[in-house]
Amino acid sequence: MPEKEKYTADDIQVLEGLEGVRRRPAMYIGDTGKRGVHHLLYEVLDNSIDEALAGYCHSIGILIRKDGGVTIADDGRGIPTELHPSGKSAMEVVATMLHAGGKFEKKAYQVSGGLHGVGLSVVNALSESMDVEVHRNGKVHVQSHERGKPKTKVIIAGDTPKHGTVVRFRPDPKIFKETTFDYDYLKERIMELAFLNKGLKIVLADERTGKKEEFHYEGGIVEYVDYLNKARPQKLNSPPAYFHRKEGSVDVECAFQYTDSFNALLFSFVNDIKTIEGGTHLVGYKMAVTRALNDYLRVNKYLKNGKKISGDDVVEGMTAIVSVKIPDPQFEGQTKTKLGNSEIKGVVSSISYDAVKAYLEENPDAGKNIAAKIMRSMEAREAAQKAKDLIRRKSVFESSILPGKLADCSEKDPAKCELYLVEGDSAGGSSKQGRDREFQAILPLKGKILNVEKAPVHKVLTSNEIKSIVLSIGAGFGDDFELSKTRYHKVIIMTDADVDGSHIRTLLLTLFYRYFKPLIEKGYIYIAQPPLYKIKKGKTMRYAYNDEELKKVSEELGGKVDLQRYKGLGEMNPIQLWDTTMDPAKRTLKKVTIDDAMKADELFTILMGSEVEPRKKFIEDYAKEVKNLDV
């Protein structure tokens, strides 16, 4: 065997303590970027939330410190400090050993969000420093750590009437690309946890700015639904419907409200973990609501000739929170946030059916409003189906026929293909001439497309511009969208750098978010960055993409320069458009991502929905922060 292929016992490494976590941090926290840094905080916070779920913790404080660290304090029972069979304090074991915790047996915690037992030890391993302070049995127990290793033994630092745990840590700059905590990024998750745990008080404070907020909701998920619907049109059942039932070890809590919106907003949770991909609990809930409403509509003679409403009809305009607490959740799916426990579907379905049926009978006015909404949804669905069938016909949808104004590329591998959605015929003409025909396709868009936030789906599908986009991408639409059929793995929005261009870009993003969401989730949607200025001095020509660059380039060239402010893409000739905006070697593209679906949905509803007041308030709140209004 060649020397280089030898594989012996000497090649087997045993990493001491938490060294394995430091070598492969992404295995434990996902990545070492912004998300990973915040994940550390969530690991500690989850322990405090588990104490709240167990009924012992009522208040949690989170402080972002000036030194770059963070402090999380709760008033739970406190980590046990007694001697562990290993000969160390249980407090040290939890902080320094993987898979050490009180959540594997069901004695200390009946339900838990942090099930893997790696929380505090992983935070310790990936922190420059971590101090743990436990208030328990009348004493204050403290221990300091550095990069996963104890600096001190557990010592008793004094007496205390309090109980709970305080964890202070500072992410290790040797591990993370960026160690700064983002207040607003944290706020969304903290608000969510406060909504899900009725009565729990969570205080978030930032020493760097002096900002401090308290999240405390006695109404729990009912207030959550109210919050989500604040920018949505007319509420059809107010206050939101609510039920909370327990069957065996399964706890089901739900709140829902209908609005005149065309979009569904359903969030599901298991033991306070957001199940982004849904799962058996959400399937059970949808089945139950569909069955209960079919029964209600049939009994009250809304449905005739044996007609039935579909699940899509039922969820249109519905905002719902489905939160279950179960002892042993099994997660699956691409992001490991899809509940797989098969027995939960039946339990949630049974509880939800009885609760929804009772609500409709006990609230006749709400029942009539909801029934009328669902009948409208059914009629719109039938009209939409006809429209979908039109664009799905073999002669159009499944053949090689593409929109007439699409200038397609010759490359057939979607991973290498780009589709530019270009504002205006003039810019469309320049980009068609300037592009690389091998891999770049151009679809010019005339004017502003339909605002899909305010339109029913059948009207969306009769819009010529939207039909052109659907046919060009070639992967279907809405619920029928199949990511694998996408003809381009880069869909680039290219609009003018002015107010109208920003509006068109927002309309397109709203369309993609509502009806092509997998494209955003997969990272296929981009925004082109055309230059704002052309700077010329003699034979030298440079471009600037913002005012800072303009200043820098002007200083570099020195003296008097000829300056042109581009009002639109159409002012650039094909060569300039290629050089500045389309050449992969030189261009800048912004990838569109969804870090938080709840926040994204809220913003699209506020900015693009039919309610004026929330939009007015948003403008008043953020007007002072606007720097470049026409960019």
pLDDT at residue 334 tops 90: no
Q: What is the CA radius of gyration of the chain?
A: 28
List active site positions: 423, 496, 498, 500
How far, rounded to the nearest angstrom, does the alpha carbon of residue 195 sit from its chain's CA centroid?
17
- Check if 221-388 and 414-530+590-625 are the same fold: no
pLDDT at residue 162 tops 90: yes
pLDDT at residue 1 tops 60: no
pLDDT at residue 604 tops 80: no
Q: Which of 91-95, 398-402, 536-540 has the lowest mean pLDDT?
A: 398-402
DSSP per-residue codes, 509-548: HHHHHHH-HHHHHTT-EEEE---SEEEEETTEEEEESSHH
Q: Which residues contact 621 (CB under 8 A, 6 or more apart)?
A: none
Q: Give residue-wise pLDDT tens across range 306-327.
A: 788 999 899 999 999 999 999 8
Highest mean pLDDT among 30-44, 239-253, 379-393, 615-629: 239-253
Q: Give residue-wise pLDDT tens across range 125-141.
A: 999 999 999 999 999 99
CATH number of 221-388: 3.30.230.10
| Cα 387 to Cα 24: distance, rounded to the nearest angstrom | 51
pLDDT at residue 14 tops 60: no
CATH class of 414-530+590-625: alpha beta
Secondary structure class of 66 (helix, strand, coil)? coil
Q: Give residue-wise pLDDT tens across range 266-317.
A: 999 999 989 988 999 999 999 999 999 999 999 999 988 778 899 989 999 9
pLDDT at residue 221 tops 70: yes
**Distances in Å between the alpha carbon of 281 and those of 274, 326, 330, 354, 499?**
12, 11, 12, 16, 44
DSSP per-residue codes, 296-359: HHHHTT-S-TT----HHHHHTTEEEEEEEE-SS--EESTTS-EE--HHHHHHHHHHHHHHHHHH
**533-537/525-528 β-pairing:** unpaired
Q: Is the Cβ–Cβ distance between 138 and 147 less than 8 Å?
A: no
**540-544/562-565 β-pairing:** unpaired
Q: Tell me the angle at which helices 342-362 and 280-299 cross, rounded to the nearest 10 degrees.
A: 30
Q: Give residue-wise pLDDT tens across range 443-502.
A: 999 888 888 888 887 788 788 899 899 989 999 888 788 999 999 999 999 998 777 888
| Cα 171 to Cα 404: distance, rounded to the nearest angstrom | 55
Q: What local confidence, expressed as pLDDT, does residue 71 receive?
A: 98
Q: Give residue-wise pLDDT tens across range 370-406.
A: 999 999 989 888 877 776 666 555 333 444 567 888 9
Q: What local confidence, expressed as pLDDT, does residue 169 receive?
A: 97
Higher pLDDT, 69 or 537: 69
Higher pLDDT, 332 or 243: 243
Rounded to an integer, the average pLDDT of 233-257 is: 95
Q: Is the Cβ–Cβ distance between 225 and 83 less than 8 Å?
A: no
Higher pLDDT, 357 or 481: 357
In the chain, % helix, strand, coil (3-state, to 5) comes to 40, 20, 40
- Write down the residue that tokens 């939330």 correspond to: 49
Secondary structure class of 602 (helix, strand, coil)? helix
Please give the share of the chain, as a percent, with pLDDT higher than 90.
52
User: Which among 385, 232, 184, 377 has a CA at the least distance from the CA of 293?
Assistant: 377
Cis preceding-peptide flag for 364 (omega within 30 of 0): no
539 falls in which pLDDT band (50, 70, 90)? confident
Dihedral (CA of 214, 220, 223, 224) sign: positive
CATH class of 19-216: alpha beta
- Write down the residue that tokens 């579909």 correspond to: 310
Give domain limits for the chain.
19-216, 221-388, 414-530+590-625
| Cα 343 to Cα 326: distance, rounded to the nearest angstrom | 11
Question: pTM score > 0.75 for this model?
Answer: no
Rounded to an integer, the average pLDDT of 536-565 is: 87
Higher pLDDT, 497 or 102: 497
Across all residues in the chain, what is the average pLDDT?
86
pLDDT at residue 359 tops 60: yes
Q: What local confidence, expressed as pLDDT, does residue 506 receive?
A: 87
How many CA atoms lie less than 13 Å away from 39 in the CB half-sphere?
Answer: 19
| Cα 41 to Cα 188: distance, rounded to the nearest angstrom | 13
Q: Give residue-wise pLDDT tens across range 589-602.
A: 999 887 655 565 66
Rounded to an integer, the average pLDDT of 325-350 is: 88
pLDDT at residue 357 tops 90: yes
Higher pLDDT, 384 or 364: 364
pLDDT at residue 8 tops 60: no
| Cα 391 to Cα 401: distance, rounded to the nearest angstrom | 11
User: Which among 148, 169, 166 has a CA at the least distance from the CA of 69?
Assistant: 169
**Distances in Å between the alpha carbon of 57 and those of 149, 191, 253, 278, 631?**
28, 17, 20, 28, 47
**127-136/139-146 β-pairing:** antiparallel
Q: What local confidence, expressed as pLDDT, does residue 610 receive?
A: 60
pLDDT at residue 337 tops 70: yes
pLDDT at residue 428 tops 90: no
**Distances in Å between the alpha carbon of 576 and those of 321, 433, 435, 566?**
50, 11, 11, 12
pLDDT at residue 607 tops 90: no
